[in-house]
Amino acid sequence: MMPKRGDSGRPEKRRSAAQQEWNASVGYASQAWEYLTDEQRLTWNVAASARRTTGQRYFVRVNAPRIRDGEALLTTLPPPEPPGPRPLLLELIITNRRGRTSLKLRFAGVPAGRYTVWGSRPCNRGLAGAPKCPRLGPLPPLVNHLCDITSLYFIKHGPYIDEHRLLLPGKRIYIRLRQEFDEGPGIYQQVRAIVPGPEDRATRGQKA
């Protein structure tokens, strides 16, 4: 089957699942604007004027990420942002038991607020520069200061790993954590670790 072509005659680039999810969230937030009361829209318009934008754009900018991450829609203005968080993410722990790789994040405390997890494909250890780290999803719940992100990681990168028949032992993986504020994203915290062989102990980011 031939790929679809646009007006230029070039094959159309299909949007990824993440792009489709984001576009759907933006569309939902745009529709939700129409259901606000006149008083609510006035409040958003006044707040948006100080940000040199429109009330609708500000409303969508705040709510589209919330919708994507499964959070409740805000019909009123978001509350003031808390002070910048202290570093919470300590390390990435990778284990390889009988060829089954798992990834866990260790935290210094329980994160407060909304966080998302971002991760690279398995990289060669000699990679120069920072790798691309696409969004994996919202941060799962913690158990004893540990967060298992194995499912998130392999849902995103598993197809690529299988398609290219990558051997994971010896590859380095980068994981980033980002706090999501209603006014915009926070600064990434990053950890990394090397996938061990089946007989090796878990590797930790401080040694990678």
pLDDT in tens, 148-186: 999 999 999 999 999 999 999 999 999 999 988 887 778
Say how many Å lie between the first and final Cα of the chain, rounded.
45
Cα–Cα distances in angstroms (integers) from residue 42 to residues 37, 48, 52, 66, 163, in the given order: 9, 10, 15, 21, 52
Residue 13 pLDDT class (50, 70, 90 cuts): low
- Which pTM value belongs to this model? 0.67
One-letter identity of residue 97: R
Q: For the segment 111-153, what is each residue's pLDDT rounded down to a tens digit?
A: 888 899 999 999 998 777 778 999 999 999 999 999 999 999 9
CB atoms within 10 A of CB 4: 9
Q: Does residue 10 have a pLDDT over 70?
A: no
Over the chain, what is the mean pLDDT?
A: 85
- Identify whether the C-beta of residue 118 lies closer than 8 Å to the C-beta of residue 130: no
Residue 49 neighbours by CB under 8 Å, 6+ apart: none
Backbone angles phi, psi at 154, to 5 degrees: -80, -20
Distance CA 60, CA 56 (A): 6
Report the distance separating Cα 167 and Cα 139, nearest Å. Answer: 26
Q: How confident is the model at residue 3 (pLDDT cuts 50, 70, 90)?
A: very low
Q: Could you report the per-residue pLDDT of 37-55, keeping only the tens digit for each?
A: 999 888 888 888 888 889 8
In angstroms, the CA 74 to CA 49 distance is: 18
